[in-house]
Structure 1
Amino acid sequence: MAVFTVNTTADKINPSDGVISLREAIALANNNPGQDTILFQLEPGQQTITLDSNPLNLPNIPSLPNIPSLPNIPSLPNIPSLPDIPNLPTLENQPTLEITESVNIVGLQEPDQITIEGDGGSFDIFTISNGANVTVTNLTISEGEDGIQVDDGNLNVINSILTDNKSDGIKIEGDNANVNVVGSSFTKNTSDGIEIAGENTNLKVINTIFTENKSDGIEIAGENTNLNVVGSSFISNEKDGINIKANNTTSFVSKSTFSQNGDNGFDINAVGQNVKVIDSTIIKNEDTGIEIGTSEEVTNNVVQIFNSDIIENLTGGSGGGVSVLGIDNEVLLVNNQITGNSAEVNGGGIAVDSGNTMFLGNNTITDNIADSDNNGTGDGGGLFIGLGAIVGIRASQITDKVDLGGEYRNVFGNFFDLGDNDIAGNDIQV
């Protein structure tokens, strides 16, 4: 457990120059078993370490001239075998900082005081391999392809900024990774804030901001992922706040905000998801607040939403606040405020396709709009229930909805009235 101190912003390997670069510190840690620590002792103020695409400063090799044909060479006598040469450390002339042994990399007091940057996206800033356990604290990581790529290992990111990377802030490529992110921000990455491509990943995100990423805040493309999000914000990403597109994931989201994303706030569009959302706000997204399932596919998702505000989302399809697509989804909504959402087709507040099951308990569903483009297509300002969907409603208020086409302002479709409801006007029920 050694401590290596970086005292230059230069990116080079030169053991005889009397200073230690970040690249040298990582090389030293890679050759020293155990959980080492890398610290920084740089000039005061904001400092940037720009990674060199040719860190070993290898010269360009000139083209060789054409060699004339050689005459036949007589056979040489047998040469005796050379003795074994001991293993020497390998120095690869790659710009990526590859971490192969466990290490803590600790910046200064604020994350913007030290920036590790690439050349705009031709290589990753950090890669983690060989099962290393890595913690990154108080750093800004930018201008890479991925800010950090996890090929084989585990990662903690604390109070750090991952911004302006050409692909993802963090990409989890390997299987069985454990990744924890606390108090950090992912901004303006060209793809996702965090992308999970490997399987069996455990990702925990606490008090972290995902904003203005060109795709999703978090994208889950690897199966059997466990996602835990607490106290985090997904704001103004160009696609979804969170996009689950891989099967059999488990997600828990608490005290988080999904706002002004260019697509859905939360998109649950694969098979076999188990999702729980508690005490969260889903507001002003440019498509459905929470979309569950995939149209005309058996998706078998179980989604529970408690004590949350789903407000002023809008969609060009059905279900401005909550949309349940596909078949065999089970959705529970309890103690939620679903207000001011709109859909150009059905269900300004909620739309439930045929073949799905939903229970609504103690919800307030008001001031939602169906058929928002007023073209005569769309019903159920508050709630649209497709033929064959099973919906039970208890102790809920569904009032003051608008269907701009003029029919079924509040609820369209058959439902089980389980008592203590305040449901107004033009409703069908059993």
Structure 2
Amino acid sequence: MKWLIDTETGERSRLQKLSITALVLSAVTLAPPAVRAQPAGMQITVNGNGDEIQPDGVLTLREAIALVNGTLEDLSESERAQVVGSAGDSTRIGFNLPPGQTTILLNGELPAIASPGVTIDGTTQSGYDIESLEAEQGSIPTPVVVITTAPGQEIARGLTIVADNVTIRGLSVYGFNSPSRLTEITGLADLVNPGRITAKAPPADIFISNPDVPDNAIRFGVPNTDEEIPPQGILIEYNWLGTPPNSDAPVADLSSAFGVYVFDGNNTTIRRNAIANQQGSAIITSIRANNLDIRNNLIADNGFAGMPDAIRLEGEIDNSAIASNLIRGNAGSGIYLFKPEGSATIEDNIIIDNGRRYKRAAIYITGSGHQIQNNRIANQPGPGVVVARFPDGHRVNITNNQFSNLQGLAIDLVAQSNAGVQAYQSGDGANPPVKIHHRRRQVANYGINAPRFASREFLATANRVTLVGTAEPGAEIEIYHVESGDGNSGTTSFPIARISTDDEGRFSAVLTDFQEGDTVSAIATHPDYGTSEPAISSTIRQLPGLQGEVR
């Protein structure tokens, strides 16, 4: 069995008991699998699924990580036979576990991967469908090697990465949480003064951080010492996170807290993973996550017992990308950017059926300079894209997206005065036209006004209709075709034309492919301000008494 993206059908099916085992896309463009490089440097083979460190007949994963970290004191002759080559710029930890013994039950947290250039490669295990991975575009084969907690154990993190250029590939990792150990109490003073209690490093299936964080309580502020340099060049690919390979959703006490937690790490790539059934977000950031690339992942059914948003980015995220993912069935927003430093590009995603617990926007944005383009957003109990004014909600471009069946505006620009809980979940509704400077700067995207059509109806002659209106001078106008639902679905809108306004803000668009009764709307995007809310729609009518067929 494998998670498969079918780029032709666009429907969702189920295999066995997991509601998202077979997910399919119709509009997401997927990159083919990368060609696997030939291994070099030290090759370590894990051939035992135990969790001990002792010189015996098998090499465990715990021993393999200790070996690459330089902390393993002794190996038996049998264990030495599982190590080939010498230490260099790269080390691969592969697997040769006996049939039926491919689940590694941990009794405690594994040591952090502290040596650069390490790859933990589950695709090396016998039984892994490597041919499908290499030949079938969009396939995420079922992992064979599983890393989870032993019965009765509470372990915060599955794999912790604190070194550069580490790759985690082809594993099933789930069950890592620490609900009874969320804070650090160091003495009586902490109990007398609860404000002294500090949060411990958060739990996750995969946790990425500078070396100083995992064993210590969290301190505020961006680290700036030599010991707190964030790791770079991390690659997370082809994994199932939060889900066992038998495709059953894990029982409650084996649910993971988060999928991938980029607590402090730059240049991280998270691609072609299936991340599901997390109590909180599938992917979340904290201190630094610049140049983060989240691409071609299946992200579903997360956030029902914690942070509800499927992807939640905070902290430094400059030059980050969220692209070509299927984000479906999560508790809150599909993507939430909360007070980030830096800008991100969100493009080519399918974001559908989210907000299943909280009525949030499909995409909620704070911060400036973000690009949101070519996404399909549907079936959301809230708006499509919301841009908050505070902090600094400017120059957010939202173009060439398709919206369907929303309970709110396709694009909602929030005013500064609306800073309550509802505004930070589902926006504040349509803004009135604003012309005064000091009032415009109190609204996201400098309060750029929605385009205004010259009429609520435009008359067509033969197969031609001209739409005219006004908007911000120097803006680009996207005309949207708007379709009403059939009773089972809401309004759908998608772009059909693009023109520019003149120096006085006037625009004119000629359409030749339309039908009598078609409804149109528009948005305006200005290079200095960003994108507006949608215009009040207009309807195309056939001019009475004239001959000619309207297509």
Partner of 1:20: 59
> Within the alignment, does 1:283 sit opposite 2:378 as a pair?
yes
Is 1:362–1:395's contact at 8 Å kept on the other side of the alignment?
no
Q: Tell me which amino acid in the other structure corresponds to 2:342.
A: T
Q: How does 1:177-196 map to 2 (within 5 A)?
A: 177-196=266-285
Deviation of 1:293 (Å): 1.2
Partner of 1:116: 147
> Within the alignment, does 1:128 sit opposite 2:218 as a pair?
no
Q: Distance in 2 between matches of 1:173 and 1:127?
A: 11
Deviation of 1:137 (Å): 0.8
Q: Distance in 1 between matches of 2:121 and 2:505?
A: 53
Q: Tell me which amino acid in the other structure corresponds to 1:168.
A: F
> Within the alignment, does 1:171 sit opposite 2:261 as a pair?
yes
> Within the alignment, does 1:395 sit opposite 2:395 as a pair?
no
Q: Tell me which amino acid in the other structure corresponds to 2:205.
A: G
Deviation of 1:23 (Å): 0.5
Q: Distance in 1 between matches of 2:101 and 2:292?
A: 30
Is 2:313–2:340's contact at 8 Å kept on the other side of the alignment?
no
Partner of 2:323: 230
More helix by share: 2
Partner of 1:43: 98
Q: Distance in 1 between matches of 2:105 and 2:315?
A: 32
Of 99, 113, 129, the residue aligned with 2:113 is 99
Q: Distance in 2 between matches of 1:143 and 1:232?
A: 24
Deviation of 1:186 (Å): 1.1
Any unmatched runs of 5+ in structure 1?
Answer: 54-94, 329-342, 370-380, 382-389, 403-408, 412-420, 426-430
Deviation of 1:391 (Å): 8.9
Partner of 2:406: 313
Q: Distance in 2 between matches of 1:11 and 1:201?
A: 35
Any unmatched runs of 5+ in structure 2?
Answer: 1-40, 71-86, 129-140, 178-203, 211-230, 244-254, 418-425, 441-446, 450-474, 486-492, 494-503, 523-535, 541-551
Q: Secondary structure at the match of 2:258?
A: coil
Q: Secondary structure at the match of 2:269?
A: strand
Of 347, 360, 364, the residue aligned with 1:267 is 364
Q: How many residues align?
A: 324
Q: Secondary structure at the match of 1:24?
A: helix
Deviation of 1:225 (Å): 3.4
Is 1:163–1:188's contact at 8 Å kept on the other side of the alignment?
yes
Q: Secondary structure at the match of 1:11?
A: coil
Q: Tell me which amino acid in the other structure corresponds to 1:363.
A: I
Deviation of 1:143 (Å): 0.5
Deviation of 1:171 (Å): 0.9
Is 2:290–2:318's contact at 8 Å kept on the other side of the alignment?
yes
Deviation of 1:424 (Å): 4.5
Is 1:284–1:312's contact at 8 Å kept on the other side of the alignment?
yes
Question: What TM-score, normalized by structure 1, do the two folds share?
Answer: 0.67
Rate the CA distance shift 1:301–1:11 in 2: closer, same or farther, 3 A.
Answer: same
Q: Distance in 2 between matches of 1:283 and 1:181?
A: 24
Q: How does 1:151-162 map to 2 (within 5 A)?
A: 151-152=209-210, 153-154=231-232, 155-162=234-241
Deviation of 1:121 (Å): 5.0
Is 1:200–1:226's contact at 8 Å kept on the other side of the alignment?
no
Identity of paired residues, percent? Answer: 20
Partner of 1:82: none
Higher mean C-alpha displacement, 250-259 vs 109-118: 109-118
Q: Tell me which amino acid in the other structure corresponds to 2:482.
A: T
Question: C-alpha deviations, 1:74-113, integer Å up to 9, x for none?
Answer: xxxxxxxxxxxxxxxxxxxxx2341100200101334421
Deviation of 1:305 (Å): 2.6
Is 1:33–1:101's contact at 8 Å kept on the other side of the alignment?
no
Partner of 1:150: 208
> Within the alignment, does 1:250 sit opposite 2:343 as a pair?
yes
Which structure exhibits the higher relative contact order, with contacts defined as CA atoms closer than 8 Å and separated by 6 or more residues?
Answer: 2
Question: What TM-score, normalized by structure 2, do the two folds share?
Answer: 0.53
Rate the CA distance shift 1:396–1:219 in 2: closer, same or farther, 3 A.
Answer: farther
Question: C-alpha deviations, 1:31-72, integer Å up to 9, x for none?
Answer: 15632100000123682111113xxxxxxxxxxxxxxxxxxx
